[in-house]
Amino acid sequence: MNEMNQPSRTRGLDCRAARVVPASPADVFRALTDPQQMTQWWGKTEKATLTSCDMDVQYGGSFRLAIRSADGTEALVSGTYSEVDPGYRLAFTWTSANPADAVADSRVRIELLDLKDGTTRVVINQQDLPAPSVVNVYSAGWHDVLQDLNMHFAGA
């Protein structure tokens, strides 16, 4: 089960976020995997900045994101791609350099569902989070990411 605050089958807790985005699955996939596009839309909801975005989007490839929040706090996250299916899904590990998160090798899966009307339902599941407080932070973060994507494609 992938509902917020429910134990996963393997370990830890899961969170889930979903939203309909006004773009095709191919366009959403590009926005999630093209570093130039990501720096344009990532963090707008919380007035954060993606200061570095290195991505090798292929099976076994890695990514590293450096994020500066509105209050100046720096965050580093990294991971390895475990599934890359353009226009359909993207899966990767997620490790935060923030010791307070204690998030190491959690699993993220992003599914893109074509609604056949020029929009895409984007569903993000993150598994193996260590504590309810971390689930709350990551759930809010993924909802912000979806809001950022929505604003990017809506031209806001």
SS3 readout for the chain: CCCCCCECCCCCEEEEEEEEECCCHHHHHHHHHCHHHHHHHCCCCCCCEEEEEEECCCCCCEEEEEEECCCCCEEEEEEEEEEEECCCEEEEEEEECCCCCCCCCEEEEEEEEECCCCCEEEEEEEEEECCHHHHHHHHHHHHHHHHHHHHHHHCC
What pLDDT score does 88 carry?
98
Q: What is the pLDDT of residue 7?
A: 43
pLDDT tens digits, 29-75? 999 999 999 999 999 888 888 999 999 999 999 999 999 988 998 99
Banded model confidence at residue 156, pLDDT cuts 50, 70, 90: low
Q: Residue 5 above 60 pLDDT?
A: no
Domain boundaries, the chain: 13-154
pLDDT at 48: 86
Whether CATH 3.30.530.20 fits 13-154 = yes
102-147 pLDDT, tens digit per residue, is 899 999 999 999 999 999 999 999 999 999 999 999 999 999 999 9
